[in-house]
Amino acid sequence: MPREKKQVHMLSKKSNVIYENWKVYSRHHKLMFRCNEKKAQWYLKRELATPLEDESKAIKLTFQAKGDGHKEGDYMIEDRSNVCVACGSTEQLTMHHVVPEMYRHWMPLVIKSKSSRDLLLLCKHCHDEYEQKAIKLKKECVNRFDIPLEGKGWIYLPEHKKAKKAASALIRSSDKIPKERQEVLKKIVSDFWNEYYHDNKEEDWNAILQICGSLVDHYKGPDYIEHGQSAIEQLTAKCVITEEKETWPDLEAFIKEWRQHFLDHLKPTHLSSSWNVDSDIYSH
């Protein structure tokens, strides 16, 4: 089955300063949330906020915000340290999604907009160590939601795959392949080329090998659905409406499951006690 390779993007800031801990106050001087300097300057340049003279790295909004911001004592308004929450390292830090992005991407906006709560700093070592445990839980989700991690609905081209494999072998290590086997592989490529590329006048054998070695042998069909998309559709099938607000009990449990999994397997020693499994999930 095809697997789409996803890179882990490590933050490249040489100083490893991810959290800049700017405070944003309401007009009534309530601490609403934290942000970085770029966001603070965005407010200041548009005269949507003014700097506080008696406090560094703090601004006060000049307009009445729609919401009240985070509750007093909430994790989201704390000063955060630029260290790995697991081991305390300050090197090679990356933002880790406690709930994998493959699921978070498909969640309702009222949950996605709260995603920064589940973005935590890890060093490369701890991130790689935990990802091995996270993969096991994702594989459990394959059976739970009845869909492979690579999704459903792929269209396969077996003849393209066969020719691609033969061409790649000839390109990569023809000098190590016995003559008889080379002839078999060459015939596979030639037969494919003559059948599918008969209008192509290319005569250079090396060029033909390069083209066949780069063939697409599968693609997403019209009914393709991603693993995360299918999982979230199933988790949001049951919707509860209270005071005109939608909630999804099964999805809540799934998010808490990932939070608990993170705590159980990584046992972070530098994570704020204000961050917990039962923290807010919705933005309403």
pTM over 0.85: no
Element (H, E) at 224: strand 218-225
The angle at the Cα of 89, spanning 88 to 91, to the nearest 5 degrees, equals: 155
CA angle (150, 138, 126) in 5-degree steps: 115
- Per-residue pLDDT of the chain (284 residues), as tens digits, is 554 444 444 444 445 789 999 999 999 999 999 999 999 999 999 999 999 999 999 999 999 988 878 888 889 889 999 999 999 999 999 999 999 999 999 999 999 887 789 999 999 999 999 999 999 999 999 999 999 999 999 999 999 999 999 999 999 988 899 999 999 999 999 999 999 988 888 789 999 999 999 999 999 999 999 999 999 999 999 999 998 899 999 999 999 999 999 999 999 999 999 999 999 998 86
Return the residue matching tokens 């990356």. Answer: 94
Point out which residues pair with 225 in neighbouring strands: 152
Distance CA 225, CA 50 (A): 47
End-to-end CA distance of the chain: 40
Report the distance separating Cα 189 and Cα 212, nearest Å.
7
3-class secondary-structure state, position 240: strand
